[in-house]
Structure 1
Amino acid sequence: MNSAMKEFSQKGFKNASTDVIVNNASISKGALFYYFKNKKELFLFLYDYAINIIKNEILMKFNDDEKDIFARRLQASMLKIEILNKYPEIYQFTTVAYMEDSAEVKSELEIRNREIIAIGKGFLNEGIDTSKFKEDIDINSAIDIITWTIDGFTNKQMEKIKNIPFEKINLNELLEQMNTYLEMLKKSFYK
């Protein structure tokens, strides 16, 4: 699995070689295809496996008792950063796979990704306290803007720190930077 994940991460689905995968894993091609009918089945299995690890990590640590949308989004972003550092190979693979455009797997990935996004939006938005928003604010549009801002910030930070050991990351500094953006959004959207 590690060999396949590495090969797909580096070359994408179309250019990944099952020969390289089996050579790096020190197994025969017959052994690989005993478990997986073809490269597509292997790729989709790995994607499902990786997503389940990420999802379980988030669900295990996510505190849904928090009702403030800004605190919730900050919490989710920090969990994303933690997962990147705990499982860098898995995170890299899922990032590459998420953007895969090979016709052979694209439609199946799109179905999976729509489901993942729906689940994520559900647990991030479910039960938030909307009474804090100004009366003249379209809450759904505000939530979209909050989401785009935090996702953009998180993705930018993750790219910066992806090769840094987790214990060397200054989380307080990241939190301060993100709070700057969150405070601006709060002033715009909250009473």
Structure 2
Amino acid sequence: MFSKFFNLEKEKQDRIINAAIKEFAEKGYDRASTNEIVKEAGISKGLLFHYFQNKKQLFFFIFDYCYELVIDEFYKKINFQETDFFMRMRQAVIIKTEMLATYPDIFKFIQEAFLDESTEIKIEFDKKKAELTHINMEKVYEGIDFSKFREDVDLTKIIKIINWTFEKMSDEAMERARLSPTHEIDYQKIQAEAEEYFQVLTRCFYK
């Protein structure tokens, strides 16, 4: 679908991508201006819409580009030889925190995308979020030694409880960010809170 865009020289691709990331991250979907994007990228508006049909298509392209870059890097760093469930989850939290320092602009954009309430993208984006969450949960759990869990409690229910716990924790963090003027998320606080839950859940569900 975007073969014309990827045929551009890399330097021009990067200018367009970086300009779009900056605009969407700073202003959200509705307030983001394609005029500002082309100005920042140093291209004409006609050229932008030669590669992308409209702002919505550009937004989803940028989201997919950023998400794939981050998730590919994440899976390169995570140690799938670690089969302990909670150690694997700790790894995931630490790696994400480290990657924030490497890709601050990209994480800012992804964060704002997840907070965005624009009616133009919400239904499609909510569906995409659900699909990505399902895919990545399965991937992160790959190779886990589930024999460490208690046998007197249904394993499916244990996993659901753990997932619900961290989904709720994530929802609360996102809501705090939504209500904050700067939309900042305190990832160090989240990491500390996650560790508290890891310890409680380990005591509850491991043999």
Please report the TM-score for the alignment, with normalisation by the length of structure 2.
0.75
Alpha-carbon offset, residue 177 of structure 1: 6.8
Partner residue in 2 for 1:51: 67
CA RMSD of aligned residues (A): 2.6
Structure 1, residues 18-60: CA drift from partner, whole Å, max 9, x if none?
1121222222212211221111111011011001101110111
Match status 1:5 vs 2:21: yes
Partner of 1:115: 131
Where does residue 160 of structure 1 map in the other structure? 186
**Gap regions ≥5 residues in structure 1:** 162-168
Is the CA contact (8 Å cut-off) linking 1:74 and 1:150 kept in structure 2?
Answer: no
2:178 match? none
Structure 2 partner of 1:22: 38
The answer to whether the 8 Å contact 1:134/1:189 transfers is yes
Report deviation, 1:92.
1.2
Shift in alpha-carbon separation, 1:95–1:174, aligned structure 2, 3 A: closer
- Contact 1:9/1:92, CA 8 A, preserved across alignment: yes
Q: What displacement does 1:176 show?
A: 7.5
Percent identical among aligned pairs is 40
1:166 corresponds to which residue? none
Q: Give 1:180 shift.
A: 4.3
Letter in 1 for 2:139: F
Q: Distance in 2 between matches of 1:17 and 1:102?
A: 14
Query: Which residue identity lines up with residue 16 of structure 1 in the other structure?
Result: A
Q: 1:34 to 1:93 in 2, by over 3 A?
A: same
Q: CA deviation at 1:74?
A: 0.5
Q: Tell whether the 8 Å contact from 1:133 to 1:139 is kept in structure 2 after alignment.
A: yes
Pairing of 1:46-85 with structure 2 (within 5 A): 46-85=62-101
Please tell me whether residue 130 in structure 1 is matched to residue 146 in structure 2.
Answer: yes
Residue 83 of structure 1: how far off its partner (Å): 1.8
SS of 1:103 mapped into structure 2: coil
